[in-house]
Structure formats: C-alpha cells, structure tokens
Amino acid sequence: GQSLEQPSEVTAVEGAIVQINCTYQTSGFYGLSWYQQHDGGAPTFLSYNALDGLEETGRFSSFLSRSDSYGYLLLQELQMKDSASYFCAVKVDTGRRALTFGSGTRLQVQP
Amino acid sequence: DAGVIQSPRHEVTEMGQEVTLRCKPISGHNSLFWYRQTMMRGLELLIYFNNNVPIDDSGMPEDRFSAKMPNASFSTLKIQPSEPRDSAVYFCASSLKAGDSNQPQHFGDGTRLSIL
C-alpha cells in the first residue's frame, strides 16, 4: 500500500516563505503532485514532480528527492489568499494508477 | 471552458433513501474519478474509470455504493440504502489519461451530502 505524511498545520506571516514537507512510502512510484484546497472549495492542481529536483511555477516551487522518498512545496511571498489546505499525492506504477492523497496541511497566513 | 460539473451541490436526505450523484467530466478527458472527503478520513478515492471502463473500485466502501459511466460525458455514483456515516463531500474529477503521470486532475465543486 501507500502512505504519506505531512504536517497537519503550518502558520506563517504575509510576505514570508513557508515549506510544506511530504514523505511517502509506496510499493512503486511515478511522481508526486501537490493540490491546493480552500475551505469549501475543490482541490486544484499546483505542481507535479517525476524527477529529482525543483520545479518552479511563479511563487510556488515543488521539490522531489526519490532516493529519500521526500518532497516539499515551497510558497514564497505569502499572501492572505494562500491560506488553504495543501495535499501531496503520489501516483504509483502498479495497476492502480490513480492518486493517493496525504491528509493535508492547513496553512494559516497571518497579517 | 466548462470545468467538471457535479450535481446536486447539496443533498440532504433521510437514511435508507437512495442517493444519486451526477458528474459531467471535461470534454475530451477520458479518465474520471470519484472521491469522498471527510474530516476523519481525508480525501479517499472511491473508483476511477478509463474510457468509461471501471479500472479500480477497491475504494468503494461496500455494496451499497455503485458507480456507472454509460458514456464519455456522464457518470453517476449511487448509494442505496444511504446511512448517516455516508455524510461527506463527494468530488468528481477528470483528467486526460490516468496512465499519463503528469496529467493533472480537474475537480468539480463537489456534492455536500448529509444523511439524517
């Protein structure tokens, strides 16, 4: 099976940088995705890493280390609107090729 | 462009009643996913389809749950009979192809289901 661990809550101030970590244990691995979900809303795709290294998309970056079974989402220049839950999700290279989501990290951005 | 469309947005019904949730995926997407989200269990995959064929239904909690995809533009998730523990937000998502690793999933706004 698969398991993912990420912190349940993170608090940061506007303009700061925050890193949300995700460690995973899977029987196979294709890649690590990140999704954002605002309260009452739907998850929306942020990024995907299949290879080691950093992927940058605007203020958000995502990193993967396959050897360490570890990844993180980096949010820079935090804004109040970034307050949301962030989920890491893995896709494994078995017959079950859908995503398995972590339990989510609730990010609270304070003024 | 229209995203994934789910209906109804909210459903309140009494236990024992049949509940049918509906989903229209994004046109051209050939993978469709049904998820359930609760505070206790997080976001759980219930079932997903590729080209209208169910690929993995191991997440369907029990026989009271069933899902169909009669064509590429429509899917239903049915609960019969419903129980209070089925109360959750049910999301439908679609993507271009589940086997393509980097294809993002696009989620609908969800159906908030309350079983009294």
Residues of A near B (Cβ–Cβ under 8 Å) read 30-31, 33, 41-45, 48, 50, 87, 91, 95-104
Q: Which amino acid is at B6?
A: Q
B98 CA: distance to closest CA in chain A (Å): 6
Bridge partners for A15 per DSSP: none
Check residue B56 and give its pLDDT.
84
Residue A98 confidence (pLDDT) above 80? no
Do residues A47 and A55 make contact, with C-beta atoms less than 8 angstroms apart?
yes
**A42 contacts B109? CB cut-off 8 A:** yes
Residue among B27, B39, B23 at smallest CA distance from B107: B23
Given B33, B104, B106, which is nearest A48 (Cβ)?
B104
Cis peptide before B104 (omega within 30 of 0): no
Place of tokens 């360490």: A68
Average pLDDT of span A77-100: 84
Check residue B100 and give its pLDDT.
59
Q: Could you tell me which chain A residue has the CA closest to the CA of B92? A: A42
Residue A94 confidence (pLDDT) above 60? no
Span B55-92, pLDDT tens digits: 888 889 889 999 999 999 999 999 999 999 999 999 99
Do residues B41 and B49 make contact, with C-beta atoms less than 8 angstroms apart?
no
Check residue B98 and give its pLDDT.
59
Check residue A26 and give its pLDDT.
83
Chain B residues in contact with A50 (beta carbon < 8 A): 101-102
Residue A92 confidence (pLDDT) above 90? no
Span B31-62, pLDDT tens digits: 999 999 999 889 999 999 989 999 888 889 88
Q: What percent of chain A has pLDDT over 70?
A: 94
Residues of B near A (Cβ–Cβ under 8 Å) read 33, 42-45, 48, 55-56, 58, 91, 93, 98-99, 101-102, 104-110
Place of tokens 């609760």: B38
Total residue length of chain A: 111
Mean pLDDT of chain B: 92
Given A42, A98, A104, which is nearest B98 (Cβ)?
A98
